[in-house]
Amino acid sequence: MSDKTTDGRCVTMKAFMVTEHNSPPEFMEIEITPPDAGEVQIAVRACALNFADLLMIKGTYQATPPLPFVLGMEVAGEILAPDADAPLPLGWQAGDRVAAVIGHGGLAQRANIPAALAVKIPESMSYEQASAFQIAYGTSHLALDHRAGLKAGETLVVLGAAGGVGLTAVEIGKRMGARVIACARGAQKLAIAKAAGADEVLDVTLPDLRDQLKSLGGADVIYDAIGGDAGTQAARALNRGGRYLVIGFAAGGHPDIALNHALVKNITIHGVYWGGYSELAPQVLRHSLAQLFDWFCAGDLRPHISEVFPLDQAHEALDYLRTRKSTGKIVLRV
């Protein structure tokens, strides 16, 4: 960063910008203004990548900001001191270690974030872990607890079980007392899901996923982060009264869920968009995150970060995500 003002405040920074949809983002030197009322400015230490970042580059994500914008929706860092010793909002102090989900703006050396969105990082949690924690674990806990009402002893099937959110669903499902069947692609990813606590593992590249699941007793809850044919096959293995959680479509297509089956088997289909709960029911998010941080501090959750890249290798990190080489989360260290 460069010092540009007489009061010593840094006003230019390196940032990873989307300037045109369907074109590679660019590194640029841009100005950052002082935070507005109700905001704090952080020195970004880590920023996790999400599948939504790839959709924002295309311009197809439901919350894509106007061009140009700084990519990166999940950050962790430390709060910087304001100018002229002005008080920080909501009791925050300079030097506090925080994480936040900000939608965009995280792949830069600094970020202005709403003070109300910042959460304090436990002392035992690294910046890399903190940046990778909220969306993945928050999505899975919201889906399994609040939406599906997963009960101890039920069978949970996780599709995309070695991915960024899938692994957290395996961990949380086991923590909630479920029997977990993890579905992923290839032996390496299945081994990672097994190490995260899965009771059974199935390779989604093998034929007849439906029959394989039914031979294991079927599913009470399906957590589907990939969609496509695997989602279609798994849905046909739902037991009566089952719940189907629509998390995402990493495989590129929507599952074909027969609504007549949903009717006669009393199946419930839940759409789960974690970010939407900040307006729909923010108190649910606060309760969920508090529970998750408690579980982390107790040693019950172990965030899996497959790769940590420096900021200047952001293109390589995005390619790693795009080609589905990763297991767990990918983090950029700033």
User: DSSP letters along 49-88, please?
Assistant: --HHHHHHHHT-STTPPSSSEE---EEEEEEPPPGGGPPP
Kindly list the structural domains of the chain, giving each domain's residue range(s) and its CATH number in brackets, ordered by start: 2-133+303-333 (3.90.180.10), 137-275 (3.40.50.720)
Where helices occur in the chain by DSSP H, the ranges are: 51-58, 127-131, 134-141, 166-175, 187-195, 209-215, 228-235, 259-264, 277-280, 282-297, 314-322
245: its two tokens: 């959680």
**pLDDT recorded at residue 9:** 56
311: its two tokens: 């900021």
**pLDDT recorded at residue 309:** 98
Instruction: State the 10-residue block means of pLDDT for the chain, 334 residues long.
Output: 43 94 97 94 97 95 95 97 85 96 96 94 96 96 98 98 95 98 95 96 93 98 96 97 95 90 97 91 91 96 94 97 89 97
Q: C-alpha angle 259/165/197, rounded to 5°?
A: 100
317: its two tokens: 């990190």
Answer whether 103's CB lies under 8 Å from 138's CB.
Answer: no
**pLDDT recorded at residue 327:** 85
Question: pTM for this one?
Answer: 0.89
**pLDDT recorded at residue 250:** 84
**pLDDT recorded at residue 83:** 76
Residue with tokens 């297509």: 253
